[in-house]
Amino acid sequence: MMTSRERWIALLSGERPDRIPTDYWATDEVTARLLQEFACPDKEALYTRLNIDGVFDVKPVRICDHHPDDPQADIWGLRRKAIDYGAGSYDEFDNHPLELVESVDQIHAYRWPAPEDHDFDRFTRDIAAAPRHRVVRVGDYEPFLLYCALRGMELAMMDLKVEPEIVDAALEHIFQYHYLLNARLFEIARGRVDITYVAEDLGGQTSLLFGVPEIRKYILPRQKKMADLARSFGVHVFYHTDGAAREIIPDLLSVTGIEILNPIQWRCPGMEREGLVRDFGGRVIFHGAVDNQFTLPFGTVQDVRNEVLDNIRIFGDSRWICAPCHNLQPVTPTANIVALYETIHDNGIL
């Protein structure tokens, strides 16, 4: 039997693992509930209980975790507040520190965080202690989402058309922070880190959130640099984009050079699983594809089982990691979560 890490690495190497690998994405409320219901002391025990080949994420700890001009804000100057939606809560942004910016000079004058402000000695210890049987993830990069938080969603979208210099200047500051930090982390973790997280929510429920020309101008070139950095350290590129992103997938493959595509929201137009397998199955690993908008929260146990079995059939000639297509939500019954992992464990032998 392969270890969880060996299954992932086999897929990334173009080889055949002993069984279809699995992964776990969930809100904190769901994880806390499962830990209690299964009497598991930690997530590792939960992964073992449900046969999940989950990722072990090692994050650096900052020496200072607030903005120099606002002790209530994070390193970017962003404040958050918990918004209760009934079954749980999400932290939403409570301010937009760049919303009054009108020039590139103001962007440069903003007090951006410093990548060196981390406890790298602690990170060295943490990476050394990472479990050998789990895939280890280090580093992340999702720049336009951060720009939208700093500027406000409406202004950020308008900026793509009317303030291109402001967009480009801010995205370059964001890129430099993450590039220098990731380079340091990859160097420390050389040989112990398997994947890095590169992302941008390019798709909405029915189409791309903004145009292909804008994605090619503002997003892809720096994503490629970040992906190239990872590859120079032997680190694989895990890519996340929600929604109907079919139109931009060829660019993500040929420019960014992604290796894993998440989360495969197959109910969105253009994201039909059969078409993705036909057009891209030989070039990328699919990750996710168990619907968490309808099937997992509102379907029956049999609905979940049927969807997992459908995925096994559809992705049969390609590479697939079975997981919910984004975070399991608190309205998702535990029985459906168990059905997801039991079904893939019982039927995912290759």
Could you give phi then psi for residue 195, rounded to 5 degrees?
-135, 155
Give a yes or no: residue 238 inside a domain. yes
Neighbours of 322 (CB within 10 A): 26
In a domain, 146, yes or no: yes
**In this structure, is residue 109 part of a structural domain?**
no
User: What pLDDT sits at residue 85?
Assistant: 82
Flag whether 137 is in a domain: yes
Quote the CA–CA distance of 284 and 286 in Å, as a whole number.
Answer: 6
pLDDT at 284: 98
Whether the upstream peptide bond of residue 60 has omega within 30° of 0, thus cis, is no
Instruction: Give the pLDDT confidence score for residue 331 in this predicted structure.
Output: 95
For residue 212, give its domain range. 4-64+119-347
Instruction: Give the pLDDT confidence score for residue 132 in this predicted structure.
Output: 97
Q: Is residue 83 part of a domain?
A: no
CB 4 within 8 A of CB 345: no
**Residues written for the chain:** 350
Domain count, the chain: 1
pLDDT reported for residue 340: 98
Which residue has 């903004």 as its token pair?
210
What is the Cα 206 distance to its own chain's centre? Answer: 20
Q: Which amino acid is at 220?
A: L
Residues in the chain predicted with pLDDT less than 70, given as ranges, are: none
Query: What's the CATH number where 58 sits?
Result: 3.20.20.210
Residue 107 resides in a domain: no
Within-domain flag for 98: no
Amino acid at 200: E
Tell whether 163 is covered by a domain: yes
Global confidence as pTM? 0.96
pLDDT at 25: 98
Nearest to 265 by CA among 232, 289, 236, 230: 289
CA distance 164 to 109: 18
Q: In 145-235, at which residue ranges do the beta strands (DSSP E only) sit?
A: 195-199
